[in-house]
Amino acid sequence: MDNQIFALINIAVMTGLMWFIPLQFIPFFIWLERKGSAIIQDRIGPNRAEIFGVRLFGMVHNFADVIKLLMKENITPSHANGFYYLLAPFWSMTVSLLPLLVVPLAAPIELAGHTIRFQAANFSVGVLYVLSITSMGVFGVILAGWASNNKFSLLGGLRSSAQMISYELSMGLAVVGLLMVYQGVQIDGIVETQGRLLTLAGHPLPLPNWGIFLQPVGFFIFLVASFAETNRNPFDLAEGESELVAGYHIEYSSVKFALFFMAEYSNMVVAAFLISTLFLGGYQVPFASTQDLLQKPQLALLLLCGGGILGGGFLGSIFYLSAKDQRSLHTGMKRWEPYLFAGLGFGVAGLALILMVISFNFSFPVWAPGVLTALLQMICLLLKVLFFCWLFVWVRWTMPRFRYDQLMNLGWKLMLPLALLNLLVTGVVLLIQN
Amino acid sequence: MKVVERPEMKTTERLYIGEVLKGLFVTMGHVLKNLRNPQGMPVVFFPEQQKDLPPATRGRHRLMKREDESPRCTACMLCATACPAECIHIKSPDPNIEKLPEKFEIDMLRCVFCGFCVDACPLDAIRMDIPEIAIAGYTRESLVYKKEFLMDHDNKDIVADYNPPRPVIWTHGPHAKP
């Protein structure tokens, strides 16, 4: 096959994948939110919906939600501004799915004479593309608030847009610090640089060259600003239930509400991807650079197996413990399902252990290093993203909401000067180093 | 005038970040505890399991009966007047005969369970002591309780330690009892 055609197909597949990944994360995220909030508050959480006795620990509730939202009456209020009213949810959803295009899932690998890239689009503007696209998300909120022609949604939209705009500043400045350190805006370059070891005055330190170590203040600002950008607790003033009924999407029902809801979660998925890519080394496995992994497929396989053992064992034991809860028995819930999942988890762990033991006698085929490396790096990125997804849930069910003046004070009087100071210090240090 | 001083926050508390971390550790502690021991979660599997209600619970209404099974109610309208939700609808027949309610309906969709009707009744004809607190139905009509339904009981006093199993009453739909 011609190399150019192959590259085109590669880009098309990756674009589809990067569109698909956040969409697949949404139901998982909603489940994580429900179950996580329940467990934080000493509750069991969703466990009633079932399909032929299969409950998937409450994951089936998502199907019920989808059916409910699709079957609901699609109301357009007569006082709403028709076109913009319809545009807002579609705008929100579209914009929330776009930024992932530039995030690499793994380092490019060579396979049968072709280079496979795991990045949909490698724009020369890189991070700036992400910033510009995420800042367009605010239009969806403003449009929804204004076009609904309802005072509560207008207030919600105004508050939300003011908040998003003021936190975008410090977010952008935090990223600028990062760009100064890595000397470039292209995301694949940034991630590649993060695979090295941190060096201090020529001496390598036992730390990966991640943004979180080079720019701790920038990381903190970016994290807080991304909470504010995604309208997430403790900054979820856009939908302060106690003040604004529901925020900018009061007048939306059925699929249009579903789109807003999905956009909110997909924004969070994107934020998790961005934080892990920019500040936590992206797909880089700590202390094992891409070259190392490509040269030693043994190492990649061992790391994969170790991850399998840990993950399988952890999930299996959680499922096993949850199966031992006798109280759910008289509600008619079947015992076999948690035991099945526990068995699956332990089975994965056992297989990984066996593979680990026999892998010492493997002679790896030519394609193995590339595939193993890509797989390992994707799983590594996934774990980082999952951690940040959990952080979003964890923080939401821990913090109370900020008051509006507190939010603005924090944004303009603390975060912005801090970000500027961070820039200044970074610049001075870089000047001294050169 | 007493001035209540706001507690002064320490500098470490003002920084907010330390307190946030403390809070995160608290919630993570709950997560780990509950993942390790799911049986320790103080959860009631409603509606299969139900908690005991305290003796003074204000539950579902009933109309008390005389010895000849006629209602004690004389259609004096005091309960309907006292009702802030206007959920009691009483119709009395011709006032020249002995007064008895011809129609006595309680619209449970409007009722706010305040108990004013019980306090207002001079004849102790209406009580709210049937220990059912989860009242559900599939249609609006099924939740407007008629006189016959309100009088469908054994007319005994419900004593303080009365704690029978209390199933949810589904008046319509797949869970409805025949």
Whether the CB-CB separation of B153 and B59 falls below 8 Å is answered with: no
In this prediction, residue B176 carries a pLDDT of 55
CA B17 to chain centre: 43
Q: Give DSSP secondary structure letters for chain B.
A: -PPPPPPPPPHHHHT-HHHHHHHHHHHHHHHHHHHH-GGGS----TTTS-PPPPTT---EEEE-B-TTS-BS-----HHHHH-TT--EEEE---TTS----SEEEEETTT-----HHHHH-TT--EEEEE----EE-SSSGGGEE-HHHHT-S------TT-------EE-SSTT---
Chain A: residue whose CA lies nearest to B19: A399
Chain B residue numbers with beta carbons less than 8 Å from the beta carbon of A325 are 38-39
B27 touches chain A (CB under 8 A): yes
Does B34 contact A39 at a Cβ distance shorter than 8 Å?
yes
Lowest mean pLDDT among A285-289, A312-316, B9-13, B161-165: B161-165
- Chain B hits for A395, CB-CB cut-off 8 Å, are 20, 24
Substitution target in B17, B37, B39 with the highest count of A β-carbons within 10 Å is B39
Find how far residue A341's CA is from the centre of its chain: 25
The model carries a pTM of 0.84
- Distance of residue A157 Cα from the nearest chain B Cα, in angstroms: 27
Q: Are B26 and A36 in contact (CB < 8 Å)?
A: no
CA distance B107 to A403: 41
| Pair A163, A96: CB distance under 8 Å | no
CB contact under 8 A, B48 and A397: no
B55 pLDDT higher than 80: no
Q: Does B28 touch chain A (CB under 8 A)?
A: yes
Interface contact B45, partner A, CB < 8 A: yes
So what's the pLDDT on residue B117?
92
Candidates B14, B17, B34: best to mutate against A (most CBs of A within 10 A) is: B34
The reply to whether residue A398 touches residue B27, judged by beta carbons under 8 angstroms, is: yes
Cβ–Cβ below 8 Å for B24 and A325: no
Q: What is the pLDDT of residue B25?
A: 94
pLDDT score of A73: 86
Instruction: Inform me whether the pLDDT recorded for B168 exceeds 60.
Output: no
Cβ pair A321:B38 closer than 8 A: yes
pLDDT of residue B89: 92
Residue A204: its pLDDT value, please?
79
Q: What is the pLDDT of residue B175?
A: 52
Contact assignment for A327 to B35 by CB distance below 8 Å:
no
Q: Say what the pLDDT of residue B169 is.
A: 55
Q: Which of A63-67, A358-362, B17-21, B26-30 has the lowest mean pLDDT?
A: A358-362
Residues of chain A with pLDDT under 70: 1, 201, 238-244, 326-334
pLDDT digits (tens, 9 = 90+) for B31-52: 998 888 888 888 877 777 777 7
Token duo for residue A210: 């991640």
| Other residues' Cβ atoms within 10 Å of the Cβ of residue A2 | 7
B49 and chain A in contact, CB less than 8 A: yes
- What per-residue confidence (pLDDT) applies to A332? 62
Q: Residues of B with CB below 8 A from A332's CB? A: 48
pLDDT given at position A393: 92
- B95-127 per-position pLDDT tens digit: 777 788 889 999 999 999 999 999 999 988 998
According to the model, what pLDDT value does residue A255 have?
87
Contact across the interface for A397 and B27, Cβ inside 8 Å: yes
Which pLDDT does position A12 carry in this prediction? 92
> Do A327 and B39 make contact, defined as CB atoms within 8 angstroms?
yes
Distance in angstroms (rounded) separating the CA atoms of residues A57 and A43: 13
Alpha helices by DSSP H, listed for A209-358, are 211-214, 216-229, 241-244, 254-279, 290-295, 297-323, 336-358
Task: Using DSSP bridges, classify how beta strands A114-116 and A197-200 pair: parallel, antiparallel or unpaired.
Answer: unpaired
